[in-house]
Chains A and B, each alone.
Chain A
Amino acid sequence: MPKELIRLSDCVVKFDDEIILDQLNLYINDREFLTLLGPSGCGKTTTLRIIGGFLAPTSGDVFFDGQRINDLPPNKRQVNTVFQKYALFPHLNVYENVAFGLRIAKVPDGEVHQRVLEMLEIVNLKGFEKRSISALSGGQQQRVAIARALVNRPKVLLLDEPLGALDMRLRKDMQTELKRIQQELGITFVYVTHDQEEALAMSDTVVVMDGGRIQQIGTPEDIYNEPKNAFVADFIGESNIIDGVMRADGVVEIFSRRFQCLDGGFAPDEPVDVVIRPEDVDIVSADEGQLKGTVTQVTFKGVHYDTIVDFYGFKWLIQTTDYCPVDSHIGIKIDPDGIHVMKKSAYSGMFGDYSSYSEEYDEIGDATMAPGEEDSGDEE
C-alpha cells in the first residue's frame, strides 16, 4: 500500500474573479511519478506552484505528510522545483549552482563537494563543474537544473515543463533519463506538461486537467483506453468521437447500426459519446463492412497511412497499413474492445470530428508549442 505524501483538498485559486483552479482535489503518493497534463491555461502550473509554495490557494488546504502547509514558505518545504526555463543563476558556475541549496542549508564543505559531484555524475555532467552557465547547451542547462534541485534530496521534485525548450531527439533522451533518475533515487516526481506522449511514456499516474478542473486521473493505460469524456479522449492520442445510443449493456448504436462493445451500466437508450481509436478500425471491402464510407484524404506517415473516411458526412481518422486511394469506397469493422462508450459531458460534440483534420493534427503534434503562453496565462 503506497503512502500518501501530498494532498490538495478543495483548492480554489482566483485572480481577480477569474477562476484558475476550481475545487481541486488531488493526492500524490510517495515515490510516484505523477504528471499534470493539459493545454495552456488549464491550471497545471498553478497546481504545481501551490505544491511548491509559490502560491497560496484562495481557499482550500494543502497537506504534506499529513501536515497542513498552506502558510509554509517555499524555503521551508521539502520540495524542490525544476523551472520551465531552468532559472539557473547566471552569476554562478555549474558547481556553485548545484551547491547553492546545500550552502544555504549550511552543509559542511566536504559533504557539499561530495554530493555535488555525485549529482553531476547522475545527470551525466561530470567534468562540467567550472563551466559558466552561459557556456552550456539547452540540454546541459536542463541537467544542471535537475541536479540543482535533486542534490538537496527533496521528498518531492516538481518539474514544470522541463523539456519544453528542447528539440525532439533530446526530449526523448531526457524522458528516459528522468524516469531512470526517478527510479534510481526513489523520490516523488510531479511533472507538468502539455505533451500527452511525454505524459504517457513516463508517468505512473496521469492527471488530465482542463479549465481549472481535473478531467481524469489514472494510469496512462486507463487514460488512453478508458477516457472519461470527449476532452480526455481527444487530448490523449487521436480519437473519433461519435454520438451513439446505448441500447443495452454491451450494445451501442452508431449511425443506426448496432455494435457490440464491452461497456455497460448505462440507462436504456441513454445517449452517449463513443470513442473509436484510429488504430482500432479494420478496413475491409465495402460489402463486408459494418459501415461504409468514402476515402477523402490519405497521408503517408511511415508506419501507417492516415486515412480520412467520410461516413454519412462525419469524417473519421483511420490509421491503417493498407493503402486505400482517395475516392475509393470501403467498409470497416470494429472489434468490441475497440469501442469505448462514455457518458455525455460538457465536452460532447466539441471534439472527434476530422473535418478540419490537417490543422488540428498539426497543432497537437507541434512539439515546440510555446511554453511561455501558459506561464503568462497562469500568473498574471
Chain B
Amino acid sequence: MKSRRSVGGRFLIALTFLFLYAPIVLLSVFSFNAGDSSVVWKGFSIDWYVKLFQNRLIMESVYTTLLVSILATVISTVAGTFAAIGLFGLKRRWRSPLMTVGNIPTVNADIVTGVSMCLLFAACFQGWSVFARWLNGVQDVVELPTRLTLGFTTLLLAHIAFDIPYVILNVSPKLRQMDKNLIDAAQDLGCTWMQTFRKVILPEIRPGVVSGALIAFTMSVDDFVISYFTAGSSTSTLAMTIYGMTKKRVSPEINAVSTLLFVTVLALLVLSNVLEARQEKAAQKKLMLQKTTEYHPVKPPRRAPAVTKRVWFRRAVALVSAAALLVVTFALATATSAQRVVNVCSWGEYIDTDLITQFEEETGIRVNYQTVESNETLYSLLKSGGGDYDVIVPSDYMISQLIEEDMLEELDYSQIPNFSLIGEDFKHLPYDPENKYTVPYAWGTLGIIYNTTMVDGEITSWEAMFDEKYAGQVLLINNSRDALGIALMYLGYSVNTTDEEEIRQAYQLLSDANDKGVYQGKVMDEVFQVMEGGNAAIAAYYAGDYLTMLENNEDLAFVVPEEGSNWFVDAMCVLKGARHYDEAMAWINFMASTDSCLANLDFIWYGTANTEAIEQYPAYYAEAYGEELDNETFRIIQTPPETLERCEMYLVLPKETRDLYKDLWLSLGV
C-alpha cells in the first residue's frame, strides 16, 4: 500500500517538474535548431549562438542590462540595507506603517510604477528646463543643457527605486532575528556606529543582504514594464529588445539568449549555494583545528602611527572607489551626449544590423536603434512624450495621421541625394502627396498563405477566407483594419470606404463565417508557428513573412487574390523638433542607398523602392548564395506592377469610421 502511494507521489512530483521545466527545456532545445522555426526540428547547430554574438542590438542590450542591473543592485543593496537598519531602529508604532508603505512598490502593478516614474521624470525635466533656461539667461559662466531626456540615468534610478524594497524585505527578518543587545554591546565596547555596522551588524545580517542583492539583481535583469517606460529612446534592456524582436515571432536567437540567461542565473544560484556550503565546511574545519592547536600570535605588535596611516589609506581608497563609481556612472550616462547620435525607432527584425555598424563606421554617428511592435503603440508612445526619437518608420496610414497632427518635420531632400534612386511609383503617394516628409523604407502586400496539402487546387480569391469547406482551418488576422479590409475587398468595395452600410456588410460576412465555425482563431505572430506546423490551412498575412514560413514548410503557397489586396509602404520620417536633424538626414540617405537596400531586401524579404536595388538584386542573390534567384520568390518579394495595380493602400480613416471599426471588431467574438 505504502509503495503504491509513493509511486503515485513520485509520478506527481515528476509531473510538477515537467510542468515547471518543459518550457525552458523546449526553448533550450530549439535554440540549437538548425532551422529558424520554433516548431520544426531541422537538426543541431549552434548558428543561433554565433548569430547572437554578432547581433549588435542584442549584445548592446545585454551590456545595458548587465550594467544597469549591477549598478542598481550595488546601490540599492547599500541603500536598502541602511534603510532596513534605520527602520529597525524606529519604535514599533512608526516602524510597522513605514514598512507597509515601503513594501507597497513590490506589490504595485509594474505598469503603474512605470507610468508614474515616467511622469515624474517628465515633470522633473520640465522643471529643470525652466531652471536651466533661467540660469543660462542670468550668467555666462556655465551653459546648462536645457533639455533632458529619458535614458540610462532615468533607467538606473527607476531600477534602484524598485530594487530597494526587495533588499529591505530580505534584510529586515535577519535584523529582527538579531539580538538587539549586540548593537549596544558593540558600542559599549567602543565601536562607533560604522564600526558597529561593519563588525557586528553586517556579519549577522550578511545572508539577508546577499539574498536581497541576488533578488534585486534578478528583478533588474527581469524587468520589462518599468524599463520600458523609463529607458527612453536611446537605451534598451535585453527584455525590451526581446520584446521588440517578438513583433514578428520568437526568433531562435531569442531562444539562444534566453537559454544563456537561464544558464547564467542557474550558475549564479549554484555558485552561491556552493560558496555557502564551503564556508560552513571551512568554519567547521577551523573549529576542529583550533581545538587541537594552541594559539601563537604571529604578527609583531604594530606601532600606533602605522595604524593611523592605514585608516587614512583605507578611507582614501573608499573615497576614490566611490568617486570612481560615480564618475563611471555619469560617464556612461552622458557618453551618448558627447557623441553624434541618431535615435531610430523601427519594427522588430526589420533591418540587417550590419548596416548599423557600417553606418557608424562611415559617419562616426552612433545609432540608438529601438523597436516597437505596432503603429498604434508607436503613436501612443509619441503622444505620451515617451519616445524621444529622430527617425521613425511608420506605415502609410499612420504617416497621414501624423502629418495631419503636425507631428512630423519636413525633410531636407538636398541632404538625401539617394532619394533620386526611389522609383517614381513610390513618390507622391497618397499619404504624403507633396512628398515633403517621407522616404520609403520597405513595402509589401497582403495575401493568402495556404497549405497546398490541405486545400483542393489553387486558391485565387478571398472567398476562401469565408468558405464553410475550410471550417476550423482558417486563421483570421488579428487587427480590425486588415480583417474588415479583406471582407471589403471580397465584396468589391474600397478598403478606405467610409460608407457605414458597406462596412456593416463586410462585418456581416465575417460574422456569418465565424458563426459557421470557419475561424480557428485570431492570430498575429502566432501565424508562423501554426502555419509552419501545418495546423491550419489558410491565413491572410504579409508576403515577406510567407517567405520566412516557406523555409520551414515547403507545402505553403502565397497568392495575392484576384479581387485585389492591400499594399503598404513603411517610410522613414523625422519627428517634429528632432534633436539630431542632420544625423537623421544622414541615416535616411544611407538607408536609401542601393547597397543598403540590397542588404535589407535580402535580409527582410520585403520590397524596396530603390530602382537600382530592384534591378541588381538577382545578381546580388546569385553572388551571395551561388544559385539563381527563383523568379517566383522574387515576384513575391517585389510584387510586379500588374499585381500592384489591383492593390489599394490604406488611408487614414475619419474618426467616426475608426470608431465603427472598433465597435464592430469588439462585437466579433472569434
Distance in angstroms from B210 CB to nearest chain A CB is 15
Across the interface, name the chain A residue whose C-beta is closest to B298: A109
Per-position contact with B for A128-145: 1 when CB-CB < 8 Å, else 0? Answer: 011110000000000000
* A74 interface residue per 8 A CB criterion: yes
Per-position contact with B for A104-126: 1 when CB-CB < 8 Å, else 0? Answer: 11101111010000000000000
Once A89-B182, A110-B297 are accepted as A-B contacts, the answer to whether A75 and B191 lie under 8 Å apart by CB is yes
| Assembled-state Cα–Cα distance A110/B299 (Å) | 8
Name B171-220 residues within 8 Å CB distance of A.
Answer: 179, 181-182, 184-192, 195, 199-200, 203-204
Residue among A84, A95, A152, A380 making CB contact with B189, cutoff 8 Å: A152
Once A109-B301, A132-B287 are accepted as A-B contacts, the answer to whether A104 and B184 lie under 8 Å apart by CB is no
Which chain A residues lie closer than 8 Å to B291 at the CB level? 130-131
B interface residues (Cβ-Cβ under 8 A, vs A): 91-92, 179, 181-182, 184-192, 195, 199-200, 203-204, 287, 290-291, 295, 297, 299-304, 307
Which chain B residues lie closer than 8 Å to A75 at the CB level? 187-192, 195
Which chain A residues lie closer than 8 Å to B184 at the CB level? 52, 54, 74, 81, 83, 87
Knowing that A85-B179, A89-B200 are A-B contacts, what are 15 other residue pairs whose CB atoms are under 8 Å apart, sorted by A's residue number?
Answer: A54-B187, A54-B188, A73-B187, A74-B184, A75-B191, A87-B179, A87-B182, A89-B182, A89-B185, A91-B204, A101-B189, A110-B301, A129-B295, A130-B287, A130-B291
* A193 interface residue per 8 A CB criterion: no
Name A284-309 residues within 8 Å CB distance of B.
Answer: none
Q: Is the CB of B295 within 8 A of A100?
A: no
Which chain A residues lie closer than 8 Å to B179 at the CB level? 85, 87
Contacts A/B (CB < 8 Å), 23 sampled: A54-B187, A54-B188, A75-B189, A75-B192, A80-B188, A80-B189, A81-B185, A85-B179, A87-B181, A87-B185, A88-B185, A90-B204, A93-B290, A104-B190, A106-B304, A109-B299, A109-B302, A113-B297, A130-B287, A131-B291, A148-B189, A152-B190, A380-B91
What interface size band does chain A fall in? 35 or more
Which chain A residues lie closer than 8 Å to B192 at the CB level? 73, 75
A interface residues (Cβ-Cβ under 8 A, vs B): 52-54, 73-75, 79-81, 83-85, 87-91, 93, 95, 100-101, 104-106, 108-111, 113, 129-132, 148-149, 152, 380
Across the interface, name the chain B residue whose C-beta is closest to A95: B295
Which chain B residues lie closer than 8 Å to A91 at the CB level? 203-204
| Assembled-state Cα–Cα distance A52/B186 (Å) | 12
Name the residue in B91, B92, B291, B301 with the highest tally of chain A Cβ atoms < 10 Å from its Cβ: B301
Which chain B residues lie closer than 8 Å to A93 at the CB level? 290
| Assembled-state Cα–Cα distance A93/B295 (Å) | 13
Distance in angstroms from A132 CB to nearest chain B CB is 6
Which chain A residues lie closer than 8 Å to B195 at the CB level? 75, 104
Once A93-B290, A113-B297 are accepted as A-B contacts, the answer to whether A105 and B190 lie under 8 Å apart by CB is yes
Q: Is the CB of A130 within 8 A of B290?
A: yes
Across the interface, name the chain A residue whose C-beta is closest to B308: A106
| Assembled-state Cα–Cα distance A131/B190 (Å) | 24
Distance in angstroms from B192 CB to nearest chain A CB is 6
| Assembled-state Cα–Cα distance A113/B301 (Å) | 10
Which chain B residues lie closer than 8 Å to A152 at the CB level? 189-190
Across the interface, name the chain A residue whose C-beta is closest to B182: A87
Distance in angstroms from B202 CB to nearest chain A CB is 10
Q: Is the CB of A109 within 8 A of B297?
A: yes
Q: Is the CB of A100 within 8 A of B301?
A: no
Distance in angstroms from A213 CB to nearest chain B CB is 25
Across the interface, name the chain B residue whose C-beta is closest to A107: B301
| Assembled-state Cα–Cα distance A74/B188 (Å) | 5
| Assembled-state Cα–Cα distance A111/B184 (Å) | 25
| Assembled-state Cα–Cα distance A80/B191 (Å) | 12
The 7 closest A-B pairs by CB, nearest first: A130-B290, A108-B301, A87-B181, A101-B189, A87-B185, A74-B187, A110-B301
Distance in angstroms from A265 CB to nearest chain B CB is 45
Distance in angstroms from B387 CB to nearest chain A CB is 52
Distance in angstroms from A16 CB to nearest chain B CB is 9
Across the interface, name the chain B residue whose C-beta is closest to A104: B190
Which chain A residues lie closer than 8 Å to B297 at the CB level? 109-110, 113
Which chain B residues lie closer than 8 Å to A79 at the CB level? 188
Distance in angstroms from A380 CB to nearest chain B CB is 7
| Assembled-state Cα–Cα distance A104/B192 (Å) | 9
| Assembled-state Cα–Cα distance A96/B243 (Å) | 54
Which chain A residues lie closer than 8 Å to B290 at the CB level? 93, 129-130
Once A75-B191, A101-B189, A104-B195 are accepted as A-B contacts, the answer to whether A130 and B181 lie under 8 Å apart by CB is no
| Assembled-state Cα–Cα distance A81/B91 (Å) | 23
Distance in angstroms from B259 CB to nearest chain A CB is 39
| Assembled-state Cα–Cα distance A132/B179 (Å) | 17
Which chain A residues lie closer than 8 Å to B199 at the CB level? 100, 104
Q: Is the CB of A106 within 8 A of B307?
A: yes
| Assembled-state Cα–Cα distance A132/B284 (Å) | 10
Residue among A52, A88, A89, A106 making CB contact with B188, cutoff 8 Å: A52
Once A111-B301, A130-B290 are accepted as A-B contacts, the answer to whether A100 and B189 lie under 8 Å apart by CB is yes
| Assembled-state Cα–Cα distance A93/B182 (Å) | 15
Distance in angstroms from A129 CB to nearest chain B CB is 6
